[in-house]
Amino acid sequence: TGLRPVRSPREIPTLDHTPQIPDTNPVEYFAELSKQFPEGIFSMDIAGQENVFVYDPDLVTEVCDETRFGKPIFPPLSHVRDYAGAGLFTAHDDEEVWGMAHRILMPAFSQRAMKGYFGQMLEIAQNLVGKWERKQGQTVKVTDDYTRLTLDTIALSGFGYRFDSFGKEELHPFLQALLEALVESMRRSQELPMMTKLRTADDKKYRENIQLMRELVESVIKERRRGKSGGEDDLLGLMMEAVDPETGRRLDDDNVRDQVLTFLIAGHETTSGLLSFATYSLMRNPHVLAQAYAEVDRMLPGDTVPSYDTIMKLDVIPRVLEETLRLWAPIPQIMKAPLEDTVIGGRYHLEQGTKTNLLMFPTHTHPKAWERPLEFDIDRWLPDNRAQHHPHAYKPFGNGRRACIGRQFALTEARLALALVLQKFKFSDTTDYQMDVREALTRKPGDFELVVRTRQEHE
């Protein structure tokens, strides 16, 4: 037959590859390894399980065929279930509550719903601007402030809950707990369970962090029960009250708790990364930055307060975001698994259930699909050029029914935040920041700082 083995980075295929995977930034390491396998697929044994990595756009196309591949909940996602439970992100494909929650929450992510959140998105974006105006001429921690923005935005528009992160010097304790829990989930996915058991102090900390996050969620829900927050048709209102049209049932209390935590996590981590990487990319591409400023000055002259309609009419800023998601996808890999034994590319045999990881960066820069792949070129996203793209070489929001439910929310929020920031500020990169990616399930630039000045003052 024409079948070929999937190649591995080491010659002795029986030995586990775990020891060679670095503790930090494993996905960056996989992306680096991919260069050794131009066929667009390789395999490694990690913590006793075979992991296949795929990034040739035609192989990715097959892996994105939902009649053949599903989303499995293996490590690290099975560990994230320790706190996100059967929330949308970590539910199994065939878990009934996934379908129920998906049907109940879909209306909250329609385009019409975005218009409803706009007031809250604007309020929080103005808090960010206010903070940076007070920091005139000083260094700001860009990624931390975008994290304040995205966390406050999802909490306010989704749950009517105020973190008030911009009023505080320190990041909210929820964020520290989350970061530590995510790192621990990643770590557990790269070691045998026996090793995890030996790290008793880490396990204790992990439980404490989960407890802290759950307590916050309980207080969000309690406020609503007391009638002190938000409306009936925001996310929390739907989670607590709406009836699934198919089963006629509501989500139970445990699931509501898991969904709230899921949305607090999924709803902020990634968008904060996107905004940070977009700001970085603009700093490194002055000609694109100039186009973005020109757009903002045309559409939002002076101190014009952006309206929803203006934000939806932007052209340059959305293309900056799309190109940023190509080169700096905040979720650097997603996992799929064949529903039955199958063959991809006409030659690679995959057994049912094999962990099949789709690597974003190697796919998003694959020479088969992208010209000058490493160049930050927003013109790729002009309508005529977009029509020529390989259909499966760009997956920043995942694939199929398990793709991101919050895509429009993220893009609306990020467009607005970037537009306001560019309307008000000039940045200077006085420390010549060197990109230092930090992975914790999602990835963000570490210690990214810039000096901010208001534009009027500066010009």
Phi and psi, residue 129, nearest 5°: -60, -45
* Residue 350, strand partner residues: 342
- Residue 124 or 274 with smaller CB distance to ligand HEM: 274
* 274 near ligand HEM, judged by CB under 6 A: yes
Is residue 28 packed enough to be buried (19+ CB in 10 Å), middle (13-18) or exposed (0-12)?
A: middle
Residue nearest to ligand HEM (CB): 406
* Residue 452, strand partner residues: 427
Identity of the residue numbered 212: L
26, 76, 230, 396: residue in contact with ligand HEM (rule CB under 6 A): 396
Contact 356, 337 (CB under 8 A): yes
71, 148, 438, 443: residue in contact with ligand HEM (rule CB under 6 A): 71
397, 425, 427, 448: residue in contact with ligand HEM (rule CB under 6 A): 397
* Interaction residues for ligand HEM, span 150-169 (CB under 6 A): 154
- Residue 89 or 427 with smaller CB distance to ligand HEM: 89
The verdict on whether 174 is a catalytic residue reads no
Strand, coil or helix: what is 450?
A: strand
* 278 near ligand HEM, judged by CB under 6 A: no
How does 303-316 read in b/e, with b if 16+ C-beta sit within 10 Å?
eeebebeebeebeb
37, 163, 376, 397: the active-site residue: 397
Tracing tokens 């963000």 back to the chain, one arrives at 444
Identity of the residue numbered 199: R
30, 89, 117, 448: residue in contact with ligand HEM (rule CB under 6 A): 89
Binding characters for ligand HEM, 166-205, by CB under 6 A (x = yes): ----------------------------------------
The verdict on whether 412 is a catalytic residue reads no
**Antiparallel, parallel or unpaired: β 355-359 and 49-54:** parallel
- Residue 274 or 289 with smaller CB distance to ligand HEM: 274
Q: Tell me if the bond preceding 76 is cis, omega within 30° of 0.
A: yes
Q: Could you tell me which of 250, 240, 323, 271 has the C-alpha nearest to residue 147? A: 271
Gap between the terminal Cα atoms of the chain: 69
E-strand ranges in 132-250 read 139-141
Binding characters for ligand HEM, 212-231, by CB under 6 A (x = yes): --------------------
Alpha-carbon distance of 351 to 21, in angstroms, equals 24
Maximum Cα–Cα distance across the chain: 71
Strand, coil or helix: what is 73?
A: coil
Q: Could you tell me which of 267, 258, 287, 261 has the C-alpha nearest to residue 120? A: 267
* 102 near ligand HEM, judged by CB under 6 A: yes
Q: How many residues bind ligand HEM (CB under 6 A)?
A: 25
Using the Cα atoms of residue 62, residue 64, residue 68 and residue 69 in order, give the sign of their dihedral. Answer: positive
- Residue 57 or 406 with smaller CB distance to ligand HEM: 406
* 270 near ligand HEM, judged by CB under 6 A: yes
267, 338, 362, 445: residue in contact with ligand HEM (rule CB under 6 A): 267
The verdict on whether 64 is a catalytic residue reads no
Of 15-23, 269-277, 294-302, 445-453: span binding ligand HEM (CB under 6 A): 269-277
- Residue 71 or 326 with smaller CB distance to ligand HEM: 71
350, 398, 418, 440: residue in contact with ligand HEM (rule CB under 6 A): 398
Binding characters for ligand HEM, 12-51, by CB under 6 A (x = yes): ----------------------------------------
* Interaction residues for ligand HEM, span 401-420 (CB under 6 A): 402-406, 409-410
* Integer CA distances (angstroms), 38 to 4, 7, 42, 76, 366, in order: 15, 11, 9, 27, 10
Contact 292, 273 (CB under 8 A): no
150, 270, 324, 365: the active-site residue: 270
* 72 near ligand HEM, judged by CB under 6 A: no
* Residue 334, strand partner residues: 358
* Interaction residues for ligand HEM, span 320-379 (CB under 6 A): 330-331, 334
* 263 near ligand HEM, judged by CB under 6 A: yes
324, 354, 404, 427: the active-site residue: 404
User: Which residue ranges make up the site for ligand HEM (CB under 6 A)?
Assistant: 71, 88-89, 102, 154, 262-263, 266-267, 270-271, 274, 330-331, 334, 396-398, 402-406, 409-410
Annotated catalytic residues are 270, 397, 404
